[in-house]
Chain A
Amino acid sequence: MFSFIYVEKSIKKHPRTLKILSRFPKSTVITCEHYGEIFNRHQQDFRIQKKDPCLILAEKHNKRIMPAPPEYGLNTTHNYYFSHMLNCIYDCRYCFLQGMFRSAHNVIFVNYEDFIEDIRALAVKTREPIWFYSGYDCDSLALDPITGFSRSFIEAVSLIDNAFLELRTKSTQVRKLLEMKPRDNVICAFSLSPSAVIKSLEHQTPSLAARLSAAKKLQLAGWPVALRLDPIVFVENFRAEYKFLFEQITEKLDFETLHSITIGAFRLPKRFFKTIKNLYPEEPLFSSQFNSDNGQVSYKKSTEKKILDWCEASLKSRKNCPPVYRQSLE
């Protein structure tokens, strides 16, 4: 899977490093001083790297848990995000990571215990519910069999009374969760799109059917499952495509017990959009009619409103609809 693995010298003997390396016996391991030497260097081509990315094992020294962007929460007050990984094994054309990072290599931070300590420290500062979102700079579960991420974090967070953990994913790697006792304060949130969008824009991701099947397994095992329909892409036959998606959701999942559904139209920070458009000039998605203001590129306000109004109404028209939240710049 990874031909070359860069490892920071200081964590070369970390038990998690050794465990991860044992999964890649054929990879060539290269020692570096700091992951930034490879990940943050100038003049990298994300598109070329994405074809054959390397893995980088590193230690995250600071800024491990960050306040979540305002539109990221579920109408909750205390929202944080964290990333035990940078980048993702999938290749979604709309993903902001292509614009945010110079490199397409995958970084895994192996010092989970420091992340968990920071989560605990934040949680004790309030008695109110405090949310920790994973899957902002990576897919939470895509490499779970290798990273052992879910077990480490779920076991730790489930011991904190007021903490909630959201694991956002497009993957079907739920085996580790199924081996564990379900926790009410750990929500597995599946990002879903219509099959046509998955086929065209979410390269190397599991199919819609596979994601729904993984979500159903978790539901049956008693885990809270949420759905994230974000970004919603305004395509030809938009209503037909998304209507069919909603039908598949209600048909395959236990719709009324879903924890929540969030909806958000395609949007990107302007500078990320420009970078990604230059990386993939032939991509139809970046050729739609967009508005560009307040540093964001998005559909025209009227279009965005129509998209979200229609999706929300369509979802809520279904029997026993779970809470639907909008993720919007407004």
Chain B
Amino acid sequence: MELTGTTTLLVALKAEAQPLIDHYKLKSARQHPFPIYANEQLKIVITGIGKCPSATALAHTAAFFSALPNHIWINFGIAGHKDHTIGTAVSVSKVINKSSQQTWYPNLIKLPNTLVKSLTTYEAVVGDYVDDTLCDMEAAGFMSAGSSLHIKSECLFVFKVISDNKLSDAKNITKNLVAGLVKMHIPTLEALIKKAEIKVQDARNGKLELGSELFEKWHFTQTQKSQLREGIRRFRALDKETLWQDMELDNCATAKDVIENLNRRLQKLLPKF
């Protein structure tokens, strides 16, 4: 199965994933250490509970699938908070690893009916809800792996739904409750994905691979490849009306001739405003 999507959701539990799998009609991609469900745009990876599984799943998915530049990664799932009502949607502004006190700042997008709060990732389920932060067991692993893999901070999001609080602690969480909470916030999640996509789209378009079709016709050294790419980039920027592919290159015997031809054309061009 070809997995080329532009957004990946990492969730800890099947119960968190199932409403999304149903909603987006995702299909299972087999032969991975983590269950993965996907369509052309979206992947959902079920990481399992805890920081380490969350980090490993992100690393595996990022390494295994050739992601587009600025692929969006979202850690989605349930979390606790001492006071907030069950079902409250939260965009996480800061992730704190309780054991190391290391912090990360995921990207934020303004969403309707969504709080913005810090989150602390614990090693185990929390019963006392001491801090005024959300609590979960995965986000720090997700952020840590994302940073280590040099994923851009603009592409890392943590989005949670409150599932437990002082009045109804984690022991009361059921599959049905989780499914209901996730279903309730599919529109908000969709808004997040859409807005994130719009933000990164422009930067994604700017980084297209250039000139690779010429590499089959002439033999370019690595240096010449880089000179050609830079030449084509400049040509495309300076002359938006002419396709660089329309340049007459048939008379060029070598890669060096191609580059010289291109450079001659470039010398005549000045920025037009």
Contacts and interface: CB of A to CB of B under 8 A. Distances in A.
Asked whether A and B interact, the reply is yes
Interface of A: 3-4, 28, 30, 32-33, 37-38, 41-45, 47-49, 51-52, 54, 196-197, 199-201, 233-236, 241, 279-289
B105 A281 contact: no
Given A45-B203, A48-B203, A284 B152 contact: no
Contact of A41 (B108, B153, B203): B153
Interface of B: 70, 93-94, 103, 105, 108-110, 116, 118, 147, 150-154, 199-200, 202-203, 206-207, 233-238, 266-267, 269-273
Given A28-B116, A43-B147, A44-B153, A38 B272 contact: no
A283 B240 CA distance: 11
Given A283-B237, A287-B234, A42 B271 contact: no
Given A283-B237, A289-B267, A236 B152 contact: no
Contact of B105 (A41, A52, A197): A41
B199 A52 contact: yes
Contact of B116 (A30, A234, A282, A289): A30
The B interface, classified by DSSP as helix, strand, loop or mixed, is mixed
B105 A38 contact: yes
Contacts of B235: 287
A281 B152 contact: no
Contacts of B94: 30, 32
Contacts of B200: 45, 48
Given A281-B237, A287-B238, A235 B271 contact: yes
A38 B153 CA distance: 10
Contacts of B270: 234-236, 288
A280 B266 CA distance: 18
The 6 closest A-B pairs by CB, nearest first: A287-B234, A284-B271, A200-B273, A287-B237, A196-B273, A48-B154
A325 B172 CA distance: 74
Given A281-B237, A287-B234, 4 more contacts: A28-B116, A32-B105, A44-B153, A289-B267
